[in-house]
Structure 1
Amino acid sequence: MPIKGLTFILSVALLLLSGQTNIFSQNTGQLPAGTQSPDTAIVLEKITIEGFRLSRYQRLFPGNLAVVSGDELVPADGTNLAATLNTIPGVNMQSGTYATNRIVIRGMGSRTPYNTNRIRSYLNEIPLTTADGISTPEDIDAAGLGRIEVIRGPASALYGSGLGGSINLFTPEKLQQEGIFNLSYGSFNTLRTGFSGTVNTAKSGWWGSLSHLNSGGYRDNNEFKRTTFITTGRWRQPKWSMKSTLMLTGSEGEIPSSLGKTQFENEPRAAAANWAAIEGFKRIRKTLAGTTLTNSLSPRLSSQLTLHGKWSDNFEKRPFNNLGDQTLSAGIRGKLSYNRPATDWVLGIDWSTEQYKWRLDLDGILLNENRENRDLLGLFGIMNYRPAPRLSISLAAALNHIRYRLTDLFAGDGDQSGNRHFPVIISPRFGINYAANNHLTFYVSAGHGFSMPSPEETLLPAGTVNPDIRPEQGMQYEAGTRMNLLNKALEAEISFYWIALDDLLLTKRITEDIFTGINAGKTRHQGMELLLRSRILNSGNFPGKLKTTFSYTFSRNRFIDFTDDGNTYDGNELPGIPEHYAQLQLNWNPAEKLELSTHLQYTGNQLINDANTMAYEGYFLLNLKALAQFHLKKTGKLRVFAGVNNLTNTHYASMLLVNAPAFGNNEPRYYYPGLPRHFYAGVEVRF
């Protein structure tokens, strides 16, 4: 059945993308002044690619980059960022609940238990990633974003050298005054509402968004609520500009946790017994702020300085103890850019300091309390050289130094304080892009990346500093091609990558609440990524217009040298990564004011333990959505939409906990049940 599902998606995609009748693309150069590029435009227009500091056509930059914008940001009901990110080849976001997610890019981070820690994420140049490498871009409602850029692999010195890559989020920049109100309601008492608005003057602009999500949850002990406020202000002068961003978010979600195989198959709505018994939950409060000042020092020289800070206060009620933690950080990002007709230079510094405090208690009795200070200093340089009109060469390097300082605040078990200075890490990058003509380009690149151990991995089981833990490091090599075919109506991108990773960080679970880390060996990640976008059958011979987007990922990820607890796993596949992953989106406009969309997703087989003795079979999902748009004389536009997700009512696991341990006589709890067939409907008013 899973192979048939994949074959079906491939067949439909090839059939639809083979249409060649009267196809055209919109010419963004002919848009009236003061308007934005249409959401349906294939990415041909000239844009600023933040990850490479190039104000050029996207197809000319030397490396991979996925850009998601417009209506693509909020597919289906828009309650989960996974629906957006999973349309990008090479990216797989598993979502166990609204509060439990894991993002894997090109196989990086698949063995992380409950979060994302092998990528970097930013909001308007402000780091979302904490000093220990944890990223939670899903805290932000996708409806409050204007664009997402995803760089797969360590391809940008500008955004650090995360092994998985970076997810860069940008708030909308709209030229017109606008207000948007949206409201939707769906199965499991899921309510999503939001309001955003833009106000512009001659020299300034303001945008703000307030959103709220509330769900009763499909499972027991699964209620969730989140409120997010984001605002951005811009001020423009002839020689300088300033941009400030503030984000406030608060969420509280009950934790049903994962299930063993028997309960997953027979009682998927149940919560894990130990979490249900204590009504476990997690409460999060976060604040993020930053200001970027850009100066034009001369016609060729400009500078950019970003000051940023973060604060968070979290509490998690768990069966074995309660965890409270607070984070406070501040940092500076500075860039100096020099541009000539054939060369661009960027020099920069990235410094941040963060204090992370955590305490464990049980029944009011303090068990442990620590404070860890992390200082990170990064220097980077980028050169983009164009020796010929069709040839671009990029050279970059980043130098990073990280220092940890642990302070034991609990005197009951002795002083376990300690310091750790990691060696300087140098991460070079090289890329070439060649445009054979206006329809075909080729690129190759190579880059180095690293990931730092988490606070749990930097400590030994006894709570002392682990003197032997090292960052994991790796090199990525990739080659790809971009094509604009059929009178620029079909966009295709194919990329191949190879990643060699050393000093693999392994999180070992000693007991239910004690983790530690070791460097366990080497892995190799290989894969192919395909993206096809097209508008076809846009003629009188077919009713309306049809747009298709097809993405496919094949990956093979293996242990090369890996021994754990005396067991050798050389040659085994890494768990938690589907070997095949495909998505097909069809958007049909049978009439000007009506849109029908279909989203088909195939997730292939994946192993769920290092020994490769346990596997989870692939599955196929189908979502449908209908949207009608009406023009209101005085108000603006009214959109009414409704849809159904998982139309076939497939029983599947939306997230897997790899290498799940078994405690006592209980089964290992590998599975987070995915949502069954569910419905939603809503309205959006633009004025």
Structure 2
Amino acid sequence: MTFPHHAVLPLALAVSLASSAALAQQAAAPASPQVDRARPVQRTATDLPRVQVNANDWRKYLKAKLVHQLSEVDGSRITVTKKATITHLDLQPTVIDNNLDQLLARSPGVLVSQQPTPTQFNLGYRGLGNPQESEYVLVMQDGIPLESDWIGFPTLYAMPLSQSLSDVELIRGGSSLLYGPQPAPVINLVSRRPAADAPSSFTTEQVVGNHGLYSTYNTLEGSSGPWSFRADMAYVRSDGTRANAGSQRRQGDLYLAYRPTAQQLWWFDLHAIDAASGDPGRLSYPQWRADPSATPTPYNRDWVDRHQLVLGHNREFGDGWLLEGKLWFAWQDLASRSASGALAAQPLPNSTTLQDEQFRTRGTDVRLRRKWGRGNAFTIGAVLFHGDDPFRQWTSRDLYVDRFDRNGKPRLVQARSSDYASVFAENVFRLPHEFHIVPSIRLERERVAVDETVKPPFLSRPLIDEADARTVPLLGLGIGNDFGHGNETYFNVSQGWRPLRYFDMASPFANIVPGRAPDPSKALSWEAGVHGVPVTGLYYDVSLFWIDFKNRIEAQHINVTDVIEVNTGDTRHRGLEGQLNYDFFAPTVLADRGEHLEAFANISLLDAHFTASTIPGQVGKVPAYAPRYLAKAGVTWRVEQRVKLSLTAVSAAAQYWQDSDQPFGSGASYLPARIPAYTVIDVAADWQLDRNLRLLAGISNLADRRYYDRVWQTGLEPATGRTWYTGIALTL
């Protein structure tokens, strides 16, 4: 008879204990004399020394940690020694209308720069770059990039509705070695999936709110034998808080999975997002003070369509081997109609620009993992990516020209393409005394190309015909130690980089002086911290970080009309990031009945400055969007299958909106140098009336705070004031 490996040690221990007890009994008994078998034998009992055995079930600490952080070896990913935070959305009320402050409230350090239109999402982290379109943050869905083009145009214009997500993963400190380009971090949005044995069910969610909000989200899912499926359809509309701020969003998803055996999974994913929104325009500071609802561009509009097909396969081969593979195809159309702003009493512009950018991308990600020895694991993989991204503009006299009208005068025509390939390997070694070490390596190559046939008429430069390629090696090292019950110290040093974009090679809207393309921006990140569950109900994670970000790319004017893209300088980002969660009911019998009262708080303290620059007087200045603190906190009361009630708050320090740390404009067009500090409070609740009916309600910006946290040289974006919603969810 043979036994599985995991049963050998307990079996050997049991046999050893039994044998020892038997030998002890034999040694304690005197030698037996010759006795008359006809007479009864007098037997005496022997008292052995008392042995007290105490055991701690390590699994309870692991389970408590996994509420807040990723598994150390998560499928083919090695996340031990990396700082990895996870938010399980089932443990908080439903997030309506993609309220990113609520969605990312438990994600430390992630800065949301609000633009109250659902066709652009602005996220930043640790002051590494302007949050505009989340260009310095890698946002993924199920490990696949959501950016328009991952390499040539890494912008975020489409995002799935929160109701379709199960988890939000935030990975930093080695994230580039896991997933590739972007200095840090990775935000991975995990889609909801039906359990393998889930019965079929249908859920419809109907929500209304102020400013004309209507949201419907409908799901059909279930499993039968080896098959599982999930389909959803959603529609969200709102009038917005300003004229021409109305929007509509449609989303559809289809997931189909086949499990021929317990060790195999084949799956198919189809995601579709269509969004359209008016663009009311940005305001100067005096205009915002006078009337934050003013609309200088009642004729501008944005459209985003994104469709993505994913084919995947997971397979366990035994002996610790696991294969994970994904093949995806995505098509995104980003269109806009924009003209100069004009408030009342000002003349209307005499033309508008109709723009269309298409992104036809495809890629594959294949990873192989082998668990070996006692807790060791090795991963190796490769990624290939290609994008074809035509960029076109027309001018028209009609300020309300239709999105598909091509009768205007061509203003810009570019053919653009990107290619990316990488190979990577990583291993976690378990050492004596609960130490572990994780070396990582990744080799990446990118190529971007722009071929221009029509340029804007106000430029004198030649047509752009540029191509550039870069090969970038990345290294990383993580070291950790487990101590106590469920606690770990971790240290990570890793390299990251930001790929060379189309606009870095040559801006289509400037007189570019031909020359060598700038070097890609690179980051070297150091992070050391400790996290764990020292007592029942308490989780903590606190770390110190230091990031050197080099070769920042900016447009530098060499005369009145001509610019050149150059590496202008380096910045240093250092600070502390901490997270604390405590469930007051966890040590009590209330937790056994499914009742929890959890408070959470996280904070990022940041000290960021320019350490080198080709711009005179720039050294020592604070980079844009690098607040000295970003704090988030809240409390959630949760009774399983009954109530979820949350109060959350986000507070950010004042921050500069441009690297010069200087105001912009004067008089009626004045913009202050800094975005003022702000604190925003939200409340949300789900109340399960019975097994089928759930009530939803919430208020965002509870105090009706008047603020803004998004500024560009063309003006500021007023943030949304107090909003409310209410609705029901019915499950059949």
The aligned residue for residue 400 of structure 1 is 444
Contact 1:42 1:491 in 2 (8 A): no
Q: What's the TM-score, normalizing by structure 2?
A: 0.79
**Counterparts in 2 of 1:198 and 1:408: CA distance versus 1, 3 Å:** same
The aligned residue for residue 11 of structure 2 is none
SS at match of 2:292: coil
SS at match of 1:623: strand
The aligned residue for residue 368 of structure 1 is 412
Give the deviation of 1:530 after TM superposition.
1.1
Give the deviation of 1:396 after TM superposition.
0.9
C-alpha separation in 1, matches of 2:305 and 2:247: 14
**Counterparts in 2 of 1:404 and 1:624: CA distance versus 1, 3 Å:** closer
1:179 aligns with 2:202: yes
Give the deviation of 1:64 after TM superposition.
0.3
1:115 aligns with 2:133: yes
Output one character per residue of 1:16-60: Cα deviation in whole Å (capped at 9) or x when no partner: xxxxxxxxxxx9979xxxxxx99x997279847549724xxx8xx
**Counterparts in 2 of 1:168 and 1:626: CA distance versus 1, 3 Å:** closer
Output one character per residue of 1:496-520: Cα deviation in whole Å (capped at 9) or x when no partner: 1100011012267999x99974321
Q: 2:686 aligns with which of 627, 633, 640?
A: 627
**Counterparts in 2 of 1:66 and 1:189: CA distance versus 1, 3 Å:** same
Q: 1:377 aligns with which of 388, 397, 421?
A: 421
Contact 1:589 1:595 in 2 (8 A): yes
Give the deviation of 1:568 after TM superposition.
2.3
Contact 2:93 2:646 in 1 (8 A): no
Contact 2:686 2:697 in 1 (8 A): yes
C-alpha separation in 2, matches of 1:163 and 1:629: 42
For this pair of structures, how many residues does the alignment match? 625
C-alpha separation in 2, matches of 1:507 and 1:50: 41
The aligned residue for residue 99 of structure 2 is 80
Contact 2:95 2:162 in 1 (8 A): no
Q: 2:485 aligns with which of 433, 438, 441?
A: 438
Which letter maps to 1:619?
Answer: Y
The aligned residue for residue 531 of structure 1 is 579
Contact 1:192 1:213 in 2 (8 A): yes
C-alpha separation in 2, matches of 1:396 and 1:193: 45
Which letter maps to 1:317?
Answer: R
C-alpha separation in 2, matches of 1:137 and 1:74: 25
5 Å-filtered alignment, 1:418-497, equals 418-460=465-507, 461-462=510-511, 467-486=516-535, 488-497=536-545
Which runs of 5 or more structure 2 residues have no equivalent in the other structure? 1-56, 340-351, 397-407, 663-672
The aligned residue for residue 241 of structure 1 is 265
Deviation larger for 536-545 or 78-87: 536-545
C-alpha separation in 1, matches of 2:640 and 2:169: 31
**Counterparts in 2 of 1:515 and 1:546: CA distance versus 1, 3 Å:** farther
SS at match of 1:143: helix
Q: 2:217 aligns with which of 186, 191, 194?
A: 194
C-alpha separation in 1, matches of 2:316 and 2:366: 14
The aligned residue for residue 170 of structure 2 is 150
**Counterparts in 2 of 1:612 and 1:423: CA distance versus 1, 3 Å:** same
The aligned residue for residue 335 of structure 1 is 367
**Counterparts in 2 of 1:257 and 1:454: CA distance versus 1, 3 Å:** farther
1:638 aligns with 2:670: no
Which letter maps to 2:225?
Answer: A
**Counterparts in 2 of 1:389 and 1:438: CA distance versus 1, 3 Å:** same
C-alpha separation in 2, matches of 1:46 and 1:623: 27
Output one character per residue of 1:60-109: Cα deviation in whole Å (capped at 9) or x when no partner: x2110011113357655353334212431111121212223211122223
C-alpha separation in 2, matches of 1:351 and 1:545: 45
C-alpha separation in 2, matches of 1:258 and 1:73: 34
SS at match of 1:456: helix
SS at match of 1:473: strand
Q: What's the TM-score, normalizing by structure 1?
A: 0.84
C-alpha separation in 2, matches of 1:627 and 1:647: 17
Give the deviation of 1:680 after TM superposition.
1.1
Q: 1:203 aligns with which of 181, 204, 226?
A: 226
Which letter maps to 1:672?
Answer: E
Output one character per residue of 1:598-638: Cα deviation in whole Å (capped at 9) or x when no partner: 1122111112232324222212222223432122xxxx332
1:261 aligns with 2:320: no
5 Å-filtered alignment, 1:641-656, equals 641-656=696-711
Give the deviation of 1:420 after TM superposition.
2.6
Instruction: Give aligned-pair identity as a percent.
Output: 16
**Counterparts in 2 of 1:482 and 1:507: CA distance versus 1, 3 Å:** farther
Contact 2:139 2:145 in 1 (8 A): yes
The aligned residue for residue 223 of structure 1 is 246
SS at match of 1:157: helix
Deviation larger for 551-560 or 72-81: 72-81
SS at match of 1:375: strand
Q: 1:353 aligns with which of 348, 370, 386?
A: 386
Deviation larger for 125-134 or 260-269: 125-134
Deviation larger for 329-338 or 592-601: 592-601
C-alpha separation in 2, matches of 1:195 and 1:509: 52
The aligned residue for residue 597 of structure 1 is 646
Which letter maps to 2:273?
Answer: T
Output one character per residue of 1:436-463: Cα deviation in whole Å (capped at 9) or x when no partner: 1223210000010000233222215236
The aligned residue for residue 270 of structure 1 is 294
Give the deviation of 1:290 after TM superposition.
1.3
Give the deviation of 1:293 after TM superposition.
1.8
SS at match of 2:122: strand
C-alpha separation in 2, matches of 1:83 and 1:589: 16
SS at match of 1:269: coil
C-alpha separation in 1, matches of 2:480 and 2:335: 48
**Counterparts in 2 of 1:434 and 1:310: CA distance versus 1, 3 Å:** same
Output one character per residue of 1:562-619: Cα deviation in whole Å (capped at 9) or x when no partner: 234xx42100111222211112111235998444321122111112232324222212
The aligned residue for residue 403 of structure 2 is none
The aligned residue for residue 250 of structure 1 is 274
**Counterparts in 2 of 1:141 and 1:453: CA distance versus 1, 3 Å:** same
Which letter maps to 1:182?
Answer: E
1:588 aligns with 2:608: no
The aligned residue for residue 15 of structure 2 is none
Give the deviation of 1:159 after TM superposition.
0.8
C-alpha separation in 2, matches of 1:121 and 1:510: 35
C-alpha separation in 2, matches of 1:72 and 1:216: 30
C-alpha separation in 2, matches of 1:547 and 1:574: 35
The aligned residue for residue 684 of structure 1 is 729
Contact 2:83 2:172 in 1 (8 A): yes
SS at match of 2:178: helix
Contact 1:133 1:452 in 2 (8 A): no
The aligned residue for residue 307 of structure 1 is 327
Which letter maps to 1:402?
Answer: E
C-alpha separation in 1, matches of 2:155 and 2:357: 16
1:167 aligns with 2:187: yes
CA RMSD of aligned residues (A): 3.1
**Counterparts in 2 of 1:221 and 1:509: CA distance versus 1, 3 Å:** farther
**Counterparts in 2 of 1:417 and 1:623: CA distance versus 1, 3 Å:** closer
Contact 1:286 1:311 in 2 (8 A): yes
Which letter maps to 1:323?
Answer: Q
The aligned residue for residue 572 of structure 1 is 621
SS at match of 1:457: helix
C-alpha separation in 2, matches of 1:119 and 1:450: 11
